[in-house]
Structure 1
């Protein structure tokens, strides 16, 4: 048996209530995109082995899964392509779920995506990556209750998806990953949230919720990229200001701020930073306009900023798991 998995990156558009003042903390908005993606394959073997990128991470993930289900350490995993790690594109969740889904198929484990996410320790703050793996598209999750009873655990503790829309296929993002410090993850991310603390939202949840409900969500239904872009920029400005004490500004890197300004000047309808960055994205109404934005960025990047540039379109399906 050979199991193949392909899972796509996501753009994170921001948290709704980062400090939990509404009674639910975090709550996320995001979108699955067609590029980059993780692809891997798993086959039964005499012992556990991994080849390809991120070998150490994949070994650790496989051991976690096999230990949880008390399975023999007999599988070979080959990683073919990888989402860049710690740049804000959600590689951690996609890799964990890709490994878990492949091994579940190899060993005949019947578990849905949310159970696998709980087993692999994903979804503590954002549920966007999990929902992107499940179904793709534009996603809003409800965050987690600030006070959770002891009876809520495992998959039930993962932020529930409250909105999932197919995203207009023509809308295209110009994406730039500057060669800057990688985004926060793991213990550094936990420490950052502890430094920010709670009770300092200054109405953040209310302001973002209003933009989300009255502008962003209707704009998808009405196929209005200009309104969506303005609402995206507004949400990003609010949430970026909230994170300013730990990331040094609205954007995590000065290169990111410069790229966002350049995208706006080039005609992007909305700009933002994905998660902790340093990835920056700009929305265009179609691929031709996005290509023009990318061309203009290409003129400044070699001279002033070092960055990887690419176009990304929405991906309205979940991960592909095949035997």
Structure 2
């Protein structure tokens, strides 16, 4: 077993869910998101005398590894070392936990000679994708992903659309220092307590996706795409107002969204629970203009700001024999 495997993932933006709390006869947890070409999880798996884990997020890696070995019915862990070379900060709305688990599964499977490019299999191995499948499909395929949701007996949401975004379009990610979004058991309990999203709101969100977001991608219509994802995010965010206290993560987040739109960037939204806010720009030049404006602002100067186009390919796996 002499293979060395490198795995690099993009980051995931989640624009919001389309369904929540419906009866078992309707799909749950549908939604829309996109993979972004900014630094995600970067890990390496190398031969070793005994199984080991090095680098940041080692406890999370151990959890995923144990889950994978249990499901593969390994009596003993393989003689490999998983080295996390870099990873973004967790719980900021960028899907780091899912991308980490999927990266560990893909890397181990590649090292051990198991097939892994099946989304349902990946979710089974890692325990991810119980709600949204955007991160799983995005991990494999990149680009814009529309998750049609899943029925109670189905293991994973249905992929209803996948499309590539133009390379010129850039996302600017603005993340406040220290703050975190919901995760883990807190997220589970919060979602369980949320009111049901009405069928009418679900239909409104699904119509936005079918009639505006997807046509905008197909026509490379930046203005339509920007306006439609902002509208989608506001409607989806209102469904979580009972937990957030409003459409967005906090009143400060709402003020950031308003400021971004005031200075000319209309395609703005919150990724997942936040606190990361994204803004669409038609070019890298405009992305740098936005970053410069934010860094000059007395409130946003200490925010982490990242720029990147969509990642239209998803995970990158390199094998060295």
**TM category, shorter:** over 0.9
Q: Tell me whether 1:8 sits opposite 2:10 in the alignment.
A: yes
Q: Tell me whether 1:309 sits opposite 2:312 in the alignment.
A: no
Q: Give secondary structure in 2 for the equivalent of 1:70.
A: coil
- Looking at structure 2, the residues matched to 255 and 306 of structure 1 have their Cα atoms a distance apart, in angstroms, of 14
Query: Which residue of the other structure, out of 38, 43, 61, is the alignment partner of 2:41?
Result: 38
> Cα offset for 1:46?
2.4
Contact 1:141-1:159 at 8 Å conserved across structures: yes
Give matches, 1:41-120, under 5 Å.
41-71=44-74, 72-73=76-77, 74-114=79-119, 115-120=121-126
TM-score for the superposition, normalised by structure 2: 0.93
- Looking at structure 1, the residues matched to 8 and 317 of structure 2 have their Cα atoms a distance apart, in angstroms, of 7
Query: Which residue of the other structure, out of 232, 235, 241, is the alignment partner of 2:238?
Result: 241
Q: Which sections of structure 2, spanning at least 5 residues, go unmatched?
A: none
Contact 1:113-1:130 at 8 Å conserved across structures: no
Structure with bigger strand share is: 1
- Looking at structure 2, the residues matched to 176 and 304 of structure 1 have their Cα atoms a distance apart, in angstroms, of 8
Q: State the match for 1:267 in structure 2.
A: 264
Q: State the match for 1:130 in structure 2.
A: 136
RMSD of aligned residue pairs (Cα, Å): 1.7
Q: Tell me whether 1:140 sits opposite 2:142 in the alignment.
A: no
Q: Give secondary structure in 1 for the equivalent of 2:171.
A: strand
Contact 1:181-1:253 at 8 Å conserved across structures: no
CA deviations over 1:270-319 (Å, ceiling 9, x no partner): 1100000000011111111121112111111x446642112121010021
> Cα offset for 1:224?
1.0
Q: State the match for 2:219 in structure 1.
A: 222
- Looking at structure 2, the residues matched to 140 and 78 of structure 1 have their Cα atoms a distance apart, in angstroms, of 32
- Looking at structure 2, the residues matched to 51 and 86 of structure 1 have their Cα atoms a distance apart, in angstroms, of 21
Q: Which sections of structure 1, spanning at least 5 residues, go unmatched?
A: none
* Number of residue equivalences: 313
TM-score for the superposition, normalised by structure 1: 0.92
- Looking at structure 1, the residues matched to 67 and 261 of structure 2 have their Cα atoms a distance apart, in angstroms, of 44
CA deviations over 1:92-116 (Å, ceiling 9, x no partner): 1110011111111122222334202
Contact 2:36-2:171 at 8 Å conserved across structures: no
Q: Tell me whether 1:121 sits opposite 2:118 in the alignment.
A: no
Contact 2:10-2:35 at 8 Å conserved across structures: yes
